[in-house]
Amino acid sequence: MLPLCVPSAIPFWRELQRENFTRIESLADFLELSASLRLHLLKDPRFILNVPYRLAAKMAKNTLDDPLVRQFLPLLEEETAAPHMAEDPVQDKSFRKTKKLLQKYPGRTLIVTTGACAMHCRYCFRKNFPYEVETTGYAAELAAIHSDPSLTEVILSGGDPLSLSDGALATLLLALDKIPHLKRVRFHSRFPIGIPERIDDSFLNLLAQCRKQIIFVIHCNHPKELDTDVIEALKKIQRLGIPVLNQSVLLHKVNDDEATQLQLAEALVNAGILPYYLHLNDPVIGSGHFDVSQQRGEELIRYLQQHLSGYGIPRLVREIPGELSKTVYI
């Protein structure tokens, strides 16, 4: 049985979260940005800054061209209008079965476990999602899943499910364990990239005791995001027999070049992590400066095909609302 007790001590990873940069001036000072570079910063963004210290420590000083800086620091480019951009580009709100449950595809459903995340990516497609904060727990979501025997997989997303306490996760996993037609639980998390200490013994114990097949999907866009601590944390999950996959977003001036894509893919497969998806950027308002064309994405995948084994090559995809799966281009 999964333990339901909440640890009395504050976990170390919670303490590390308090070190996150949440003020733009503080991060600008840390990055030693010049006065001229600070003129390009968006001082009062609607989507607030949130960057783990260990990611900020990897950012190059006094530049806005670093691939991590571009992913996390609000820039004036976010205010550039683009007619194809939308607040809800993948129409999440249209697919809500309950306040926290989305279903877009046959056989699987997604629980929006929380609005909290380890970090705020500037291109986040769910930055405007109306997260439910009034109702605690997932009673309505679990009832809906239990009543639909066609569902064999549930995705835990958010926000980030690892933002939840182990007590909350234990309660949720135990409830999912009791639904007989469910066979798989998939975690979607960026947490290990920013705070790998979240993968502690308590969390690993939860995974080990879950009777469903677990699949763990991380989100990593650039090889600078990976380091020894991140990979070792993910190795602990792999040692439980849990597959670890990666999905990336193709982002202008972050990873839209051959060298970066090859280096990222090799770093992942060398760690036993399978590249899963390379997403074309979802057109959420404020992210137009990240757009990369489908044609360019296809060129990059073909380049990887010339240099890597098949298991090291992600599929280039886009989410088109109303389709019964991701649209795969190559």
Q: What is the pLDDT of residue 3?
A: 44
pLDDT greater than 80 at residue 2: no
Q: What is the pLDDT of residue 83?
A: 82
Q: 226-244 pLDDT, tens per residue?
A: 999 999 999 999 999 999 9
CA–CA dist 21, 248 (Å, integer): 23
Q: 37-94 pLDDT, tens per residue?
A: 999 999 999 999 999 999 999 999 999 999 999 999 999 999 987 888 999 999 999 9
Number of residues that this document lists for the chain: 330
pLDDT greater than 50 at residue 10: yes
Q: Which residues contact 272 (CB under 8 A, 6 or more apart)?
A: 235, 238, 244
Q: Evaluate if pTM is beyond 0.75.
A: yes
β-bridge partners, 184:
153, 213
| Confidence label for 183 from pLDDT (cuts 50, 70 and 90) | very high
* Mean predicted confidence (pLDDT) in 175-180: 98
Phi and psi, residue 57, nearest 5°: -65, -20
* Mean predicted confidence (pLDDT) in 123-136: 94
Per mean pLDDT, which of 1-15, 82-96, 251-265 is the most reliable?
251-265
Q: Where are the domains of the chain?
A: 15-78, 88-328
Residue that the structure tokens 């007590």 belong to:
167
Q: What is the pLDDT of residue 84?
A: 86
Which contiguous run of DSSP H or E holds residue 58? none
CATH placement of domain 88-328: 3.20.20.70
pLDDT greater than 70 at residue 132: yes
